Structure 1
Amino acid sequence: MVEPKAMSKQLSIQETEQLLSVLKERFGKNMSRHGGLKWADVQARLEANPEKLWSLNQMEITEGEPDVVGYDANTGEFVFYDCSPESPKGRRSFCYDRKALDSRKENKPRNNVVESASAMGVELLTEEQYRQLQQLGEFDLKTSNWVKTPDHIRKLGGAIFCDRRYDTVFVYHNGAESYYAARGFRGVLKV
């Protein structure tokens, strides 16, 4: 029996160039998201962290449209969020976590958001980060996104999600095992 090859978390030179081109173009088109930051600084940081490029590529291929939304002066890290207008298409119809997935006896979703985010090398947005994203534009007018759920809520079987309706960000709850075609998750990555 042949052992499966471990998935490489390195992009090829061609994949790296293509991703950097997409990110640079998005950065230039959305300057209001990252005023005062320079693409050359972002690119230098990305090139020095190839494993982070792999994670950004995962965000991109699942249609998250990652973009720089901030800079942490304490750590020197640039902060990327999924900035697609609606929930990333490649990350919808997931329940919240493994426990929720295992609890479903029938009609199981494809995956869960906690493990999917971890496999991509990103973290789920928190409610606070989701609200920050909504300050940069209008997102999720038709979809919703699971967000990092506080432990005390999860221990009781629930999970929280957010969306934007009526020019307002709403936070809701559901059983963690639930999933919907219009609900996904957004990630955050610090580079």
Structure 2
Amino acid sequence: MIEINQQEFLTTLQQRLTERHPEIDWTAVQTALLLDQQWEVLARMEATGGEVDLVNETDDTYVFFDCAEESPVDRRAVCYDEAALAARKNATSMEQLSNEIGAAVLTEEDYQFLQTLGDFDQKSQSWLATDPAFRQHGDALFGSKRHGRTFAYYNGVQSYYSNRGFRCKFTVNKG
């Protein structure tokens, strides 16, 4: 499991949120993060290269995504899921790593939204959560951005590339 220093992570996140979202009440965010140790999931996302950022707030939740410019380096060169891993004998899968982190993989809709916030995955690609009906055919979705356009496409779930990773999201309950 990933070793996490709570104070270092919270300081990093506070600096990031204060810089990028000055209107956000850091004390309220921190209070929510400390409830039920929700900060730990975000810290694991951060520790694996995610550069966690707040992308949405509702009355009841804060929604965080991986906002690293490229797909997180420590989560690349993985196949899609455990079934693909068993067939391919890779070192790990996106499914296994996202379960260890404790966060969900971005959906195609999440990924499209992320791309409205900036230019992500211009040199890398990110696996996207794929519905089981599509997955049963041996394929899964991935996304990237090229020439100012966001693309979602599919590839065999057993494939893995050094520049393809995945991005997570985590919703923090306010209390």
The number of aligned residues is 172
Match of 2:19 among 4, 20, 29: 29
What is the 5 A alignment of 1:9-158?
15-31=5-21, 36-50=23-37, 52-73=38-59, 76-104=60-88, 108-158=89-139
1:184 aligns with 2:171: no
TM-score normalised per structure 2: 0.93
Q: Hey, what's the Cα distance between the residues in 1 that align with 2:58 and 2:105?
A: 18
Say what the alpha-carbon RMSD is for the aligned residues.
1.6
Structure 1 residue ranges, 4+ long, deviating more than 3 angstroms after superposition: none
Q: 1:72: how far off? A: 2.7
| Alignment check: 8 A CA contact 2:17 2:54 kept | yes
Match of 1:172 among 153, 156, 166: 153
TM-score normalised per structure 1: 0.85
Structure 1: gaps of 5 or more residues: 1-6
Q: 1:10: how far off? A: 9.3
Q: Hey, what's the Cα distance between the residues in 1 that align with 2:77 and 2:131?
A: 21
Q: Hey, what's the Cα distance between the residues in 2 that align with 1:72 and 1:92?
A: 31
Larger Rg: 1
Structure 2: gaps of 5 or more residues: none
